[in-house]
């Protein structure tokens, strides 16, 4: 699976900032939606290079791929469903997405429209990311 298109889509959904900012939940974030943790070395008020933040994005993306493989029957999924699962993990983390048990169950069984229904019914969709989740649901619903 070529990840270029998916990486580009995630970057568009995340937006880009070269300094620390607060995300929609008030958490410190930088680059393409990188949630800053205690182990990060990013400093307030510092402008970081696109190259450095691209590297951080790639590390986050690879963690999302690994997480999607852990929480779904990844190898059984249609490529479009794999991409949706990866993006969900990128945003929510593997632990967060693993709580979407009904959605994951539908994806694992190839019931992609049902998986989309579960995403649409989530608080993530209703309270935080309606446009993004709707776009992911359209992808799932397009799988034939």
CATH code of the domain in which 86 resides: 1.10.530.40
How crowded is the C-beta side of 16, counted as CA atoms within 13 Å? 17
Judge whether 30 and 48 are in contact, CB under 8 Å: yes
User: Into how many domains does the chain fold?
Assistant: 1
Which domain, by its residues, includes 34? 4-141
pLDDT computed for residue 18 by the predictor: 98
pLDDT computed for residue 127 by the predictor: 87
Q: Would you give per-residue pLDDT tens digits along the chain (144 residues)?
A: 889 999 999 999 999 999 999 988 899 999 999 999 999 999 999 999 999 999 999 999 999 999 999 999 999 999 999 999 999 999 999 999 999 999 999 999 999 999 999 999 999 989 889 999 999 999 999 998
pTM: 0.94
Residue 17's φ and ψ, nearest 5 degrees, are: -140, 135
* Alpha-carbon separation of residue 86 from 18, 19, 29, 36, 39 (angstroms): 24, 25, 19, 19, 23
Q: Is the dihedral of CA 47, 55, 72, 10 positive or negative?
A: positive
pLDDT computed for residue 24 by the predictor: 83
pLDDT computed for residue 9 by the predictor: 97
pLDDT computed for residue 144 by the predictor: 85
Residue 42's φ and ψ, nearest 5 degrees, are: -70, 140
């Amino acid at each position: 699976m070529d990840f270029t298109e998916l990486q580009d889509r995630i970057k568009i959904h995340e937006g880009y900032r070269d300094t620390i900012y607060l995300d929609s939940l008030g958490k410190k974030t930088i680059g393409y939606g990188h949630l800053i943790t205690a182990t990060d070395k990013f400093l307030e008020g510092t402008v970081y290079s696109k190259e450095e933040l691209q590297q951080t994005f790639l590390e986050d993306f690879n963690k999302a791929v690994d997480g999607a493989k852990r929480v779904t029957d990844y190898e059984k999924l249609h490529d479009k469903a794999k991409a949706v699962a990866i993006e969900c993990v990128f945003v929510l983390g593997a632990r967060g997405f693993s709580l979407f048990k009904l959605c994951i169950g539908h994806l694992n069984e190839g019931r992609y429209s049902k998986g989309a229904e579960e995403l649409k019914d989530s608080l993530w969709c209703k309270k935080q990311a309606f446009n993004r989740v709707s776009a992911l649901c359209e992808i799932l619903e397009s799988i034939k």
